[in-house]
Amino acid sequence: MSPLLPALLLAAAAAPAQNPEWQVVFAAHRGGIVEGKPENTLAAFESAIHDGIRVIEIDLRATRDGHIVILHDPTLDRTTNGRGPVTEMTLAEVRQLDAGGGQRVPTFEEVLALSKRTGVKLLLDIKEGPGLDKRRVVRLVEQAGAVLDVIAGPRSLDDLREFRRLNPNLRTLGFIPSPGDIEPFVAAGADIIRLWPRWIEADPALVARVHRLGKPVWTTAGDAPRPELEALIQRGVNGILGDRPALLRAIEQDRLKAAPVR
């Protein structure tokens, strides 16, 4: 049993009241990490969509020449056959690399096109670091006609404020650095707050704290087992970012079957 699960189960009975319009959202973290497809690739995204996932979380980074690509780490070493920081390579150089199984590192434009073609929504993890132009991010979203299909996920208050200024209609999720940042991020306009499961374990009242501010809570649960995911939902979490799209979809389908007919 996961060491996190007992605390979550104990807290579940005290799950806070929340907006009934907040349906639980299941999102594929990096498109799904542990189901046979290389993370943050078109193959992973298409596989998650095939599994029935309706939201995909992706990581944005910039190349040396300012293009936006989908990559989790600041360096290319772990997920490609390249080496060094992505910011030191041009887009053309990055596109020559193998991201696993013959896949290429996708561009943001490619993933936006996939979203428009399939209807899948995108959560953008806006990685901090040199070169990532938020104006370019928003411009590409607008040009794709995807403002309503994208949630921007800034990690700093400055970035959150910039996204709110660039396009107030673009929804935002605050990847907050600590629980103490809940109120500042909400005040700055975050529509959703991400809490880590370990924070909820340490302080179960955090979920209710966010709900009292009128915002839903999402969490990055990674490769957590089903009982732990279900305990997080019982605790009041409104969105799960998980590594196993098929498992997420199975939980969602079971919840739909169990829901009372209205």
* 94 contact partners, CB below 8 Å, separation of at least 6: 63, 69, 76, 82, 86, 105
pLDDT tens per residue, range 138-158: 999 999 999 999 999 999 999
Domain that holds residue 184: 28-217
Residue type, 10: L
Confidence band of 7 (pLDDT split at 50, 70, 90) = very low
Whether residue 239 is contained in a domain is answered as no
Tokens 């998980």 belong to residue: 242
Mean pLDDT (the chain) is 92
Whether residue 79 is contained in a domain is answered as yes
Contact between 211 and 17 under an 8 Å Cβ cutoff? The reply is yes
pTM of this structure: 0.91
DSSP state of 194: E
Whether residue 126 is contained in a domain is answered as yes
DSSP state of 6: H
Number of domains the chain is built from:
1
Q: Which pLDDT does position 11 carry in this prediction?
A: 40
Whether residue 121 is contained in a domain is answered as yes
pLDDT tens per residue, range 199-256: 999 999 999 999 999 999 999 999 999 999 999 999 999 999 999 999 999 999 999 8
Whether residue 136 is contained in a domain is answered as yes
Whether residue 144 is contained in a domain is answered as yes
CATH code of the domain covering residue 106:
3.20.20.190
Whether residue 74 is contained in a domain is answered as yes
